[in-house]
Amino acid sequence: MLTLSLFVWVSNGLSLLIVGFGKPTAANQFSENATLSLGTNGNLVLAEADGTVVWQTNTANKGVVGFKLLSNGNMVLRDSKGNFIWQSFDYPTDTLLVGQSIRVGGVTKLVSRKSAKENVDGSYSFVLEPKQWAMYHKISNSPQPVLYYSSPRQPTDYLKFICTPDTDEGFAYDLSLETSDGGSSFLARPKYNSTASFLRLGMDGNLVIYTYYDKVSWGAYEKTFSAFDRDSNWETECQLPERCGKLGVCEDNQCVACPSEKGLLGWSKSCEAKKLTSCAAKDFHYYKIEGVDHYMCKYTRGSGPVKVEDCGKKCTSDCKCLGYFYNQDTSRCWIAYDLMTLTKVSNSTHLGFIKVPNK
C-alpha cells in the first residue's frame, strides 16, 4: 500500500489529483487517511478509510502487473511486457508536467480549478483547436464561453510541454510548447536545470510556469513564466477577465478607474455595475464610456458592420446583456454578458455602453 506522501514534490496530496489524475468524482477532496492501493485485479483505487472510493483508474482485469512513478512525475500501470496500460500523463487537468501534452484524440484542454478548496472545474480553459490555441472564460450568464486570448498557428496534433538545454554546457534551459510539425513556442529560459517545472492554468485564467530548483532548502519554487504580465510578450494583465474584479478600467496592468454614470471614479475592489431590477426597456438606460474595449474585443470579431443604434437595440432586447461595446472605425458590435475588466485604449472611437436601472 502506498501513501500520498510519495508525491510530496508536487506539493501535497490534493495536487496529486490535480496534476495528473483527473478530478475526483466522489468528492472534491479526500482526507489525510485516504489511501491509494493497487488491487490484485490491477485497479488503482484512492479510497477513504471507510472504503468510499474517491477515484479509480478502472483498469481491473486488463493485465496490469505493476505500478511505477517515473522520475518525470508520470505515474504508470504496466503489463507484463512493460506496456503502459494506464498513465497519469494521459489525464491532464489544469497542469502539464515536463513531457506531458494535450492532444487531439485525448485530452485537448486544461481547465482551471474553481478555488484552492474546491477541486472542481473552474471557469477558465486553455484549448488546443485545429487552427489555434485558445483561452476561454465561462460565464454564468451565457452558454458560450468568452474568448480572451488566442494564438493562430499551423495545425498540430499535440502541444507538449518540454524542457531542453539551451547550450551544451547546460547554462540555460528552454521551457517551450512543442508542436507536431517539429516547431515549438518558447515560453521561458531559466538559467539552471529546469526539468522540474509545471505549466498551470491558474484560477485567475493566467497561464504560468513554476520551476523547482533542488539545490536550495527553501523558496525552491519560482514563477518562471506568466502569460499575462507586464513583462510578457503574450498579453498584459489587463487582458485577464477578472483583473479588475466585477468591473474596472485597466491601463498599464493596473485598475485605474471605476466607471459610473457620473464618469470615471477611483477604482476599488467593490467597483461593480448597479444591479438591474427588470429587463423591460422602460426600466433601464445606458451610460457611455469612451476609449475602452471589453476584454473580449481583442480576440473576437463581434458582429457587424452595424450602426451603433442597432448594436444598442440588440442589447436592449436581450435580457442577459449587461452592456455593449462598439468600434466607430469598423462599425463592429460586441454584446457583453459580463463586464469585468475593460481595457483602456488610446482611441476614443471605442465606446462602451453599460446598462443601469432607471431607479
Ligand X SMILES: *[C@@H]1O[C@H](CO)[C@@H](O)[C@H](O)[C@H]1NC(C)=O
Contacting residues toward ligand X, per CB under 6 A: 31-33, 71, 170, 193, 195-196, 329, 346-347, 349
- How many CA within 13 A on the CB side of residue 164? 11
Residue type, 318: D
Measured from the CB atom, the residue of 31 and 317 that comes closer to ligand X is 31
* Shortest distance (Å) from residue 250 CB to ligand X: 18
Nearer to ligand X, 32 or 309 (CB): 32
Determine how many CB atoms are found less than 10 A away from the CB of residue 180. 15
Residue 89: DSSP 8-state = G
Give me the least distance between CB of 261 and ligand X, in Å please: 25
CB of 54 to ligand X, least distance (A): 13
Name which of 32 and 231 has its Cβ closer to ligand X: 32
Alpha carbons 224 and 208: distance in angstroms, whole number: 8
Nearest distance in Å: CB 247, ligand X:
25
Q: Between residues 104 and 172, which has the closer beta carbon with respect to ligand X?
A: 172
Shortest Cβ 19–ligand X spacing (Å)? 16
The conformational region for residue 121 under phi > 0 = left, psi -120 to 50 = alpha, else beta, is: beta
Q: 162 - beta bridge partners?
A: 176
* Cell numbers found for residue 108: 485537448
The nearest distance, CB 150 to ligand X, in angstroms, is: 21
Reduce the DSSP state of residue 202 to 3 states and report it: coil
- If the CB atoms of residues 115 and 347 are measured against ligand X, the closer one turns out to be 347
| Nearest distance from C-beta of residue 196 to ligand X, angstroms | 6
Check: CB of residue 180 under 8 Å from CB of residue 159.
no
CB 225 within 8 A of CB 206: no
**Residue 332 burial (CB count, 10 A):** 18
Please state, in angstroms and rounded to a whole number, the distance separating the CA atoms of residues 120 and 177: 26
Beta-bridge partners for 64: 79
- In the bound state with ligand X, the residue whose beta carbon lies nearer, of 58 and 346, is 346
Taking CA atoms, 243 is separated from 43, 79, 93, 343, 352, in Å, by 43, 48, 23, 10, 18
- What DSSP designation does 291 have? S
Between residues 231 and 329, which has the closer beta carbon with respect to ligand X?
329
